[in-house]
C-alpha cells in the first residue's frame, strides 16, 4: 500500500501548491485592484485614518482634515466652502472622493500615490503617522471672489485663465453648495444632504464651468468663425462681406435674420471688424456658408474643441458637429445649431487669441508637495495647439477691442486698460430666455487674463447688447481683480 500513499502525498502537495498560488493571486497579483474597488470599506477607513493633505489657494487651506474623536479619526473641512465647492469637490465617508480636486488628486491627497511610496516606507519604519500630500491651486482668490459675487444667485459659470500659461485663475459655477454637508460622519445626515442636492432642479453639484450639459456659445462663437475666415487668407479685418437684413439659407424656405432689424451696413455690405462689433448674424452666417462646415470644425479643434482635457478634473469636450449641411453650417457659424461649449473652452478661445494664437493647456494645480514639503509635482505650462497665426491673432484682437470700445461689449471697459471681448446671446429654445455670454481678455496689448462668463437665461431675445449688459460687468470685475494685484 506504500506506493499509493506516496502518490497521495504528491496529491497533497498539489493541493497545497494550488492554495499557495491562489492566495498569492489574491494577496499579491490582485491586491491593488481589490483595494481600489469602490465598495472596499477598509480602503476608505484606512484613507480616513491617514491625515489627508490640504488643498491650498494662495497659501491658505481651503480644504483640510481636522481630527475627530470617532473611529474615522479625521473629518474633512472646507473653509469658504461655497466659494470653492466645485474646485475642491467633496471627500465624503459615504460617497468617497467625489468630484473636483478631491477626486482627481485623490491618490496624492490620501497619500496612497506611488509618488509617495518612499515616504510611506519611511513612515512605516519610523512609526510616524502617515500623511497625504498637499495640493496648491492656481486659483486667484480675488478673481474667484469677484466671479462668484458677479454671478450672485444667477445660474451660470465663470472661468478665468492666464493666457500666457493656461493657469486657471477662477472657476465658478452657480448655484453652488456647501461640501461640508457631505463630509459629516453621520451617515443618515450625509445621505439626506446628498439626496437633497441631487434632487435640486438647479443642479448645484454640477460644475457648469467644465462639465454639465454644455451651452450653445451663441455669438461668442463668431470669434472662431472670424479666425477661420482670417486664417483662410481670403479675408482680413477690413474685408467687406455680405451684411443684409436676412440671409437666405439654401435648401430651406427659412432665412437667417439679424438680431436687430435691418442690414448691418449700407448696401448690404459690412466690413469684418464692424460685423463683429455689432455681432452681425448675416455676415457670419454667409461666411460660414463660404468657408464650409469642415473649416469651422478644424478651426474650432485648433482652439481645443473635442480635446479630452484634465485640469486635473475631467473637462467635457466641446463640440462642433460633423457633416453639417449648408443651413446648419450657417447656423453653427453664429454659435447655434448643435455647437456646444464649456465656459472653459470659450475662455480658451479668448486666451488663444490673447497669447498670439497659441492656446495653452489649462491647469488648476500649481504645486504638489509631500508632507515634508518636497515638491512632488510642479505645473509646467504646455502648449495645447497653435490656433491661429500671430498676425491673425493681432487682427482678431483689434476686432475684439472694437467690440468693447464701440460695440455690444462696452460694459466691459476698464479705465486705463484696453479690453478685447465678445458678447453672445445663445438661444436655447422657443419661449425660454437665451443665455448671456461674454468672453474677453485684457490688457489687449499685454494680456494677463482671459475670461468667459455665461449667465443662464440672462439674455433677452433680439438684444445682443442686453446679454453684454448682464455678462460683461462680471467679466470686467474678474479681470480687474487679476490686474489690480
Partner 1 sequence: MTTVTTLAPRTRRNVELLLLVFAVGIVLLAYAGVGIAVNGTLPPSLLSYGLGLAALVGAVHVTLRLRASYADPVLLPIATVLNGLGLVMIHRLDLAQDRAGASSFAFRQLVWMTIGVVLCLLLLWLLSDHRRLQRYTYSAMAAGLVLLLLPLVPVLGKNINGSRIWIGLGPLSFQPGELAKILLALFFAGYLVQTRDALSLVGRRVLGFSFPRARDLGPILVAWLASLGVLVFERDLGSSLLFFGLFVALLYVATERRSWIAIGLGLFVAGCYVAYLLFGHVQTRVLLWLHPFSQKALETSDQIVRGLYGMANGGLVGTGLGRGRPDLNYYAESDLIVPSFGEELGLVGLFALLLLYLVFVERGLRTALGVRDGFGKLFATGLSFTLALQCFVVVGGVTRVIPLTGLTMPFLSYGGSSLVANWAILGLLLRISDQARRPAPQVEPTNLSQDAPTEVVRIA
The catalytic site residues sit at 219
CB of 23 to partner 1, least distance (A): 5
Place of cell 506516496: 6
256, 327, 317: which is closest to 293 by C-alpha?
A: 327
Considering beta carbons, is residue 39 or 416 the nearer one to partner 1?
39
Could you tell me which residues come within 8 angstroms of residue 94 by beta carbon, excluding any fewer than 6 positions away?
Answer: 182, 187, 190, 191, 194
Considering beta carbons, is residue 23 or 325 the nearer one to partner 1?
23
Q: For residue 201, give the 3-state DSSP assignment.
A: coil
CB of 72 to partner 1, least distance (A): 13
Query: CB-side exposure of 401: number of CA atoms within 13 Å?
Result: 16
**Residues within window 296-335 making contact with partner 1, judged by CB under 8 A:** none
Among 24, 79, 310, 378, binds partner 1 (CB under 8 A): 24
CB of 34 to partner 1, least distance (A): 4
Phi and psi torsions of 49, nearest 5° = -70, -20
Per CB under 8 A, does 129 bind partner 1?
A: no
Phi and psi torsions of 18, nearest 5° = -60, -45
**Beta pairing partners, 137:** 57, 365
> What does the CA dihedral 407, 412, 413, 417 come to, rounded to 10 degrees?
-120
Considering beta carbons, is residue 13 or 375 the nearer one to partner 1?
13
Per CB under 8 A, does 125 bind partner 1?
A: no
**Where does this chain touch partner 1 (CB under 8 A) — which range of 21-29, 157-165, 375-383, 399-407?**
21-29
Q: How many residues bind partner 1 (CB under 8 A)?
A: 36
Residue 306 burial (CB count, 10 A): 14
CB of 120 to partner 1, least distance (A): 12
Per CB under 8 A, does 31 bind partner 1?
A: yes
Tell me the pairing of strands 74-78 and 60-67.
antiparallel
CB of 185 to partner 1, least distance (A): 17
Per CB under 8 A, does 20 bind partner 1?
A: yes
**Residues within window 347-376 making contact with partner 1, judged by CB under 8 A:** none
- Dihedral of CA 309/393/299/403: which sign? positive
CB of 71 to partner 1, least distance (A): 10
Per CB under 8 A, does 30 bind partner 1?
A: yes
Per CB under 8 A, does 13 bind partner 1?
A: yes
- CA dist 266 and 349 (Å) reads 31
Q: In what order do the strands lie in the sheet with 60-67?
A: 74-78, 60-67, 55-57, 134-137, 365-369, 375-378
The site string for partner 1 over 41-60 (x = CB under 8 A, - otherwise) reads xxx-xx--------------
In Å, how far are 259, 420, 439 from 333, measured between CA atoms? 15, 20, 17
Tell me the pairing of strands 55-57 and 134-137.
parallel
CB of 101 to partner 1, least distance (A): 26
Per CB under 8 A, does 128 bind partner 1?
A: no
Per CB under 8 A, does 118 bind partner 1?
A: no
**Where does this chain touch partner 1 (CB under 8 A) — which range of 8-16, 207-215, 252-260, 411-419?**
8-16
Considering beta carbons, is residue 24 or 79 the nearer one to partner 1?
24
Per CB under 8 A, does 382 bind partner 1?
A: no
- CA dist 169 and 159 (Å) reads 8
- CA dist 228 and 297 (Å) reads 9
**Residues within window 431-450 making contact with partner 1, judged by CB under 8 A:** none
Per CB under 8 A, does 16 bind partner 1?
A: yes
Phi and psi torsions of 442, nearest 5° = -160, 155
**Residues within window 190-249 making contact with partner 1, judged by CB under 8 A:** none
**Where does this chain touch partner 1 (CB under 8 A) — which range of 31-39, 80-88, 195-203, 255-263?**
31-39
- Is 235 in contact with 261 (CB distance < 8 Å)? no
Q: Which three cell numbers stand for residue 218?
A: 451663441
CB of 112 to partner 1, least distance (A): 12
Per CB under 8 A, does 127 bind partner 1?
A: no
Scored b (16 or more CB within 10 A) or e, 97-110 reads bbbbbbbbbbbbbb
Considering beta carbons, is residue 15 or 66 the nearer one to partner 1?
15
Interacting residue ranges for partner 1, rule: CB under 8 A: 1-6, 8-9, 11-13, 15-16, 18-20, 22-28, 30-32, 34-35, 37, 39-43, 45-46
Amino acid at each position: 500500500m506504500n506506493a499509493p500513499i506516496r502518490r497521495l502525498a504528491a496529491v497533497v502537495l498539489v493541493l497545497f501548491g494550488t492554495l499557495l498560488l491562489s492566495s498569492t493571486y489574491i494577496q499579491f497579483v490582485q491586491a491593488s485592484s481589490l483595494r481600489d474597488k469602490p465598495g472596499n470599506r477598509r480602503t476608505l477607513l484606512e484613507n480616513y485614518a491617514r491625515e489627508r493633505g490640504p488643498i491650498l489657494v494662495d497659501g491658505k487651506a481651503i480644504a483640510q482634515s481636522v481630527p475627530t474623536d470617532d473611529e474615522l479619526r479625521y473629518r474633512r473641512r472646507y473653509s469658504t466652502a461655497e466659494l470653492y465647492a466645485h474646485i475642491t469637490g467633496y471627500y465624503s465617508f459615504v460617497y468617497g472622493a467625489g468630484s473636483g480636486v478631491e477626486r482627481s488628486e485623490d491618490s496624492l491627497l490620501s497619500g496612497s500615490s506611488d509618488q509617495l511610496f518612499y515616504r510611506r516606507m519611511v513612515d512605516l519604519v519610523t512609526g510616524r503617522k502617515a500623511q497625504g500630500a498637499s495640493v496648491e491651486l492656481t486659483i486667484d482668490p480675488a478673481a474667484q471672489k469677484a466671479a462668484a459675487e458677479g454671478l450672485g444667485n444667477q445660474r451660470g459659470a465663470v472661468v478665468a485663465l492666464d493666457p500666457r500659461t493656461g493657469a486657471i485663475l477662477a472657476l465658478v459655477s452657480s448655484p453652488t453648495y456647501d461640501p461640508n454637508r457631505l463630509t459629516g460622519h453621520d451617515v443618515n445626515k450625509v445621505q439626506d444632504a446628498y439626496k437633497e442636492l441631487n434632487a435640486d432642479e438647479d443642479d448645484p453639484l454640477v460644475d457648469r464651468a467644465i462639465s454639465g450639459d454644455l451651452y450653445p456659445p451663441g455669438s461668442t462663437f463668431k470669434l472662431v468663425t472670424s479666425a477661420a475666415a482670417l486664417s483662410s487668407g481670403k479675408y482680413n479685418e477690413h474685408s467687406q462681406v455680405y451684411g443684409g437684413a436676412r440671409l437666405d439659407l439654401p435648401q430651406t424656405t427659412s432665412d437667417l435674420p439679424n438680431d436687430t432689424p435691418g442690414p448691418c451696413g449700407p448696401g448690404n455690405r459690412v466690413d469684418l471688424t464692424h460685423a463683429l462689433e455689432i455681432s452681425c448674424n448675416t455676415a457670419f452666417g454667409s461666411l460660414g456658408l463660404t468657408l464650409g462646415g469642415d473649416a469651422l470644425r478644424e478651426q474650432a479643434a485648433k482652439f481645443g474643441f473635442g480635446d479630452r482635457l484634465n485640469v486635473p478634473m475631467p473637462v467635457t469636450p466641446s463640440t462642433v458637429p460633423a457633416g453639417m449641411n449648408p443651413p446648419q453650417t450657417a447656423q453653427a457659424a453664429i454659435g447655434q445649431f448643435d455647437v456646444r461649449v464649456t465656459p472653459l473652452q470659450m475662455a480658451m478661445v479668448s486666451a488663444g487669441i490673447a497669447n498670439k494664437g497659441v492656446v495653452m493647456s489649462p491647469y488648476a494645480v500649481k504645486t504638489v508637495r509631500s508632507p515634508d514639503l518636497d515638491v512632488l509635482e510642479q505645473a509646467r505650462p504646455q502648449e495645447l495647439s497653435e490656433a491661429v497665426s500671430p498676425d491673425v491673432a493681432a487682427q482678431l484682437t483689434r476686432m475684439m477691442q472694437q467690440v468693447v470700445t464701440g460695440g455690444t461689449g462696452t460694459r466691459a471697459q476698464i479705465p486705463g486698460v484696453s479690453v478685447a471681448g465678445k458678447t453672445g446671446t445663445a438661444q436655447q429654445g422657443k419661449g425660454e430666455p437665451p443665455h448671456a455670454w461674454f468672453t474677453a481678455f485684457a490688457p489687449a496689448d499685454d494680456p494677463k487674463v482671459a475670461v468667459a462668463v455665461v449667465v443662464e437665461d440672462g439674455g433677452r431675445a433680439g438684444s445682443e447688447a442686453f446679454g453684454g449688459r448682464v455678462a460683461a460687468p462680471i467679466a470686467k470685475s474678474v479681470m480687474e481683480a487679476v490686474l489690480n494685484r
